[in-house]
Amino acid sequence: MPINQMTATEVANRVINKNELFILDVRNQSEFKDWKIEGENIEVFNSPYFDLLDGVEEVMVHIPTDREVLVVCAKEGSSVLIAEMLYEAGLTAVSYLKGGMKAWSEHLEPVKIGDLDKGGSIYQFVRLGKGCLSYMVVTNGEAAVIDSTRMTDVYIDFADHIGAQITHVLDTHLHADHISGGRQIAEKTNATYWLPPKDATEVTFEYQPLEGGNVVTIGNTAIDIQALYSPGHTIGSTSFVVDHKYLLSGDILFIDSIGRPDLAGLAEDWVGDLRETLYRRYRELSDELIVLPSHFMIIEELNNDGSVAKKLGTLFAENHGLNIADDKEFRSMVTGNLPPQPNAYQEIRETNMGKITPDNEQQREMEIGPNRCAVR
């Protein structure tokens, strides 16, 4: 009997809806420890593939018989074999993850955040397997895409589905943890590509400079995306206030943490900019703005509908990184709590500058692993 497969979309729905699922992850222990599928009612057990080739009897004692079981590996092949062995050992409700963790890393789940005051909507694309968040602002048949991933067809197809033409593509900063699809989307749709010029001193392509005070207008209903210069994660980091209602904070401010200032090797230089942005520029904004970051760190940051969003006033009250009064303590906390650098972050930066052009498989390998843009 052929073993059932489960797609990344199906797994994402289970994570968002908090459905029960037991996962047997057969990757190596180091890969598993670094990065795995997580969710409120997701239980994960790791047993490396090579330990199971002689039989699955020993691992069966760890696998429940009253829940669906999903076998996961890096690319798919190993999980198919182990799922077949589990089935033959008497486990009937077993599936494997189609495309493996590579497919999970690339899945984007669109979630509607809300409506705009003058008509239109804003959508968040949640990349559960990587912690990346990107956005589409839509009004009157026009759309702007912000902080897109390299899976460009997802945005283009989504815009087509809702009857919108992508006219603007924006990046809040030069990304170091994932490859931006901004330039490619702009080329495919004839849209204008915007990039903060202070982050673009080494790029090899043409772009529209995005500076503080710029206003990008979407559709003839005049939905404005107002740029707010907010350095600290990078020297050019720029936030966007959309429709006077939403704050797209890039990698400066997250729900449970704040941005790291060291991905260009300048932590000591940029930590002051980070504090200035978080403790002065953001304090001047309305507490009612809904913060929409470009990443999330932990699955608990997701709301019940799968979105990642909270009011700025709530973050000022709850986010530890926004409540350190002493400047020296802030600097020590930021520079002393930096996680490991993102996988292949230098190559990712060079790709986003246009200096190198890795093929699709190389890009996938460069992005494998968790997002590491925050100070925790």
Q: Which residues are known to be catalytic? A: 73
User: Based on C-alpha coordinates, what's the Rg of the chain?
Assistant: 21
Provide CB contacts within 8 A for 257, sequence distance 6+.
Answer: 297, 319, 321, 374, 375, 376
Gap between the Cα atoms of 94 and 176, Å rounded: 37
Gap between the Cα atoms of 311 and 307, Å rounded: 13
Provide CB contacts within 8 A for 371, sequence distance 6+.
Answer: 130, 131, 132, 177, 178, 295, 296, 297, 342
Of 124, 147, 258, the residue nearest 195 (C-alpha): 147
Provide CB contacts within 8 A for 365, sequence distance 6+.
Answer: 344
Gap between the Cα atoms of 85 and 79, Å rounded: 10
What are the structure tokens assigned to 186, written together? 């702009």
H-run or E-run covering 37: none
Gap between the Cα atoms of 188 and 91, Å rounded: 47
Q: Do you know the residue count of the chain?
A: 376
Write b or e for each residue in 70-104: b if 16 or more Cβ atoms lie within 10 A of its Cβ, otherwise e.
bbbbbebebbbbbbbbbbeeebeebbbbbbbbbbb
Gap between the Cα atoms of 224 and 241, Å rounded: 8
374 phi, psi to nearest 5 deg: -115, 160
Side by side, the strands of the sheet bearing 142-146 are 109-115, 121-127, 132-139, 142-146, 165-170, 192-195, 208-209
